[in-house]
């Protein structure tokens, strides 16, 4: 049976670790992020994390409901970093584009953690705050509740899906990543035009674009569609 998570106030009264550091949820999450970045998700365990913090591994369970609870806290931290310092301008499309790019960037700053957490729903305060912000932007822009939820769903899933997709190459070794990117020139650019006319015609463009994320383009396409829908709704039936 899992141990009960101890309330924050009770945790603050705990003695410092062997290294003289007072544990906190923030410190544990930041240390876990560093470990995942350096060793991948397989390198994250209560034993290793406890050793890095100079604390008994069992102490971690006073802060989180197991290692899965810590995983959710890591995802929560990445979402929170996207929101830190951000403020809406009141221009709904600009705000959603900027926030989407910030979410994507926050995850890519920690690609190993992105692969671990992008598909999770944390239900924690900073994730909830992000959801509230996006839905609020859409509703204030004039979208009905049904459309706001539909667009929110596509928007947030697109952001996190591209974060996970783009984190994959970043989590590879530099050698493997360079090898993958080079194939657009070493393989695709050399395909015969009589067999692959479309690839041959666009080979140079493919080699220039494919090593980069398609997320900004996909985000603009989503927002274009939403903007047209809002304009049509404002124009009324039969417009």
Q: The domain spanning residue 186 has which CATH number?
A: 1.10.357.10
Residues 147 and 225 in one domain: yes
pLDDT tens per residue across span 37-83: 888 888 888 999 999 998 888 888 889 988 999 999 999 999 999 99
The whole-angstrom separation of Cα 91 and Cα 83 is 17
What is the reported pTM?
A: 0.85
> Are residues 14 and 116 located together in one domain of the fold?
no
Ramachandran quadrant class, 139 (left: phi over 0; alpha: psi -120 to 50; beta: rest): alpha
Whether residues 92 and 196 share a domain: the answer is: yes
| Whole-number percent of the chain with pLDDT over 70 | 90
Contacts of 2 (CB under 8 A, 6+ apart): 61, 65, 66
Determine how many CB atoms are found less than 10 A away from the CB of residue 12. 11
Rounded to 5, what percent of the chain is helix, strand, coil? 70, 0, 30
Whether residues 55 and 145 fall in one domain:
no
Whether residues 98 and 130 fall in one domain? yes
Our count of domains for the chain comes to: 2
Tell me: the pLDDT tens digits for 110-151? 999 999 999 999 999 999 999 999 999 999 999 999 999 999
Residues 101 and 197 in one domain: yes
Please give the residue range of the domain that contains residue 57. 1-64
How far apart are the C-alpha atoms of 177 and 164, rounded to whole Å? Answer: 15
Number of helices (H), then strands (E), belonging to the chain: the values are 11, 0
In this structure, is residue 72 part of a structural domain?
no
Q: Is the pLDDT at 11 greater than 70, yes or no?
A: no
The whole-number pLDDT of residue 235 equals: 83
Per the prediction, the chain carries an average pLDDT of: 90
In a domain, 190, yes or no: yes
For 32-43, write each residue's pLDDT tens digit: 999 998 888 888
Give pLDDT, residue 1: 40
180 vs 182: CA distance, rounded Å: 5
pLDDT at site 12: 45
- End-to-end CA gap in the chain: 61
13 pLDDT higher than 60? no
Among the listed residues 210, 212, 214, 165, the one whose alpha carbon sits nearest the alpha carbon of residue 184: 210
């Amino acid at each position: 049976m899992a141990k009960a998570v101890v309330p924050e106030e009770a945790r603050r009264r705990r003695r410092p670790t062997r290294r003289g550091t007072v544990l906190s949820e923030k410190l544990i999450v930041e240390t876990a992020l560093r470990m995942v970045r350096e060793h991948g998700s397989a390198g994250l365990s209560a034993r290793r994390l406890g050793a890095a913090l100079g604390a008994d591994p069992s102490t971690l369970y006073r802060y989180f409901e197991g290692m899965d609870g810590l995983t959710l806290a890591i995802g929560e931290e990445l979402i929170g970093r996207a929101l830190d310092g951000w403020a809406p301008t009141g221009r709904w499309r600009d705000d959603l584009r900027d926030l989407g790019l910030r979410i994507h960037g926050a995850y890519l700053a920690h690609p190993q953690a992105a692969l671990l957490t992008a598909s999770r729903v944390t239900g924690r305060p900073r994730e909830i705050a992000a959801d509230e912000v996006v839905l609020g932007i859409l509703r204030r822009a004039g979208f009905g509740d049904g459309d706001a939820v539909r667009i929110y769903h596509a928007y947030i899933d697109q952001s996190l899906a591209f974060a996970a997709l783009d984190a994959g190459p970043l989590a590879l070794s530099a050698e493997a990543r360079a090898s993958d990117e080079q194939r657009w020139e070493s393989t695709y650019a050399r395909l015969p035009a009589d067999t692959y006319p479309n690839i041959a015609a666009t080979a140079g463009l493919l080699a220039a674009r494919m090593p980069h994320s398609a997320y900004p383009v996909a985000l603009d396409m989503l927002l274009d569609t939403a903007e047209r829908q809002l304009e049509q709704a404002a124009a009324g039936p039969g417009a």
